[in-house]
Amino acid sequence: MSADAIRALPPLREVISRYGLSASKALGQNFLFDGQLLDRIARVPGSLEGETVYEVGPGPGGLTRALLGAGAKVVAVERDRRCLPALAELDEASGGRLRVISGDALEVDAAAEAGVGAHIVANLPYNVGTALLVNWLGSEAWPPWWRSLTLMFQKEVAERIVAAPDSSAYGRLAVLAQWRSTAKLAFTVHRSAFVPPPKVMSAVVHITPAAQPEDVRPADLERITAAAFGQRRKMLRQSLKSVPGALDALAALEIDPQRRAETLSVDEFVAIARTIRA
């Protein structure tokens, strides 16, 4: 049984020392060893039995073990070649359910590698986490190729993703994550859970695609939020001046141009984008 073979693998700390996987700061390496915590992350997307998971940065394979243990097939992209032998052992123990791509996740065609309907689950390297998220959320096709995102971020970034209006965390990332998706903070993770511990706390975010509002061009929404939050202290009549049609849209929607970006709901941003298009 592969679940037993995975459980019988040596502890992660031993794997790290056997393969000399000293943590690289440049690669954002903060490893998780706590099996219960890793299983908890793997449960966030729901049952993974028979599902495909795309994982960025498996490292020595802690989260990968939990995903395979939950019955998933895993396609994982890892930039650090030192991790490959440990991951090969894990592939063998899982009965061939792990495929590792050696390379940079920013350059991999994840949709082609993992296939439509895959869940994305990752303890992301902090230096590329937001870029990957923006890429996944910005998919031209909607619903996108991925079924859900379960991602560990620095807590401050997680808060920006799920932020509500009238808060300092609310901005472009919140609108991007919420206008056609449901974004929730699953739980926070104390910095001491990582080896080595990072300076800040972390949190797991769970995002699922929702219906895309009709007659809205993503590019219009992006232009409006960029302008509005680019000058977030200014009134909309000033910050949106550079976006053709935006001030007329405010008038048509009876949105007070003296308001500031952070007071607008996601629905109001969507309505402005739709009105500009019309």
Q: What residue ranges bind ligand SAM (CB under 6 A)?
A: 27-32, 56-59, 62-63, 77-80, 104-106, 123, 125, 128
Cα dihedral 194, 196, 199, 204 in deg (nearest 10) = -20
CB of 236 vs ligand SAM, minimal distance in Å: 37
CB closer to ligand SAM, 105 vs 264: 105
Reported as half-sphere exposure (CB side, CA atoms, 13 A), residue 101 has a value of 18
Q: Which of 131, 132, 136 is nearest to 147 (CA)?
A: 136
Question: What type of residue is 242?
Answer: S
CB closer to ligand SAM, 86 vs 163: 86
CB closer to ligand SAM, 13 vs 217: 13
Question: What type of residue is 204?
Answer: V
CB of 148 vs ligand SAM, minimal distance in Å: 18
CB of 17 vs ligand SAM, minimal distance in Å: 15
The residue nearest ligand SAM at its CB is: 57
CB of 237 vs ligand SAM, minimal distance in Å: 41
CB of 178 vs ligand SAM, minimal distance in Å: 25
CB closer to ligand SAM, 27 vs 252: 27
CB closer to ligand SAM, 99 vs 234: 99
CB closer to ligand SAM, 58 vs 209: 58
CB of 101 vs ligand SAM, minimal distance in Å: 9
CB of 38 vs ligand SAM, minimal distance in Å: 7
Q: How far apart are CA 60 and CA 15, in angstroms?
A: 7
CB closer to ligand SAM, 205 vs 227: 205
DSSP per-residue codes, 55-113: EE--TTSHHHHHHHHTT-EEEEEES-GGGHHHHHHHHHHTTS-EEEEES-TTTS-HHHH
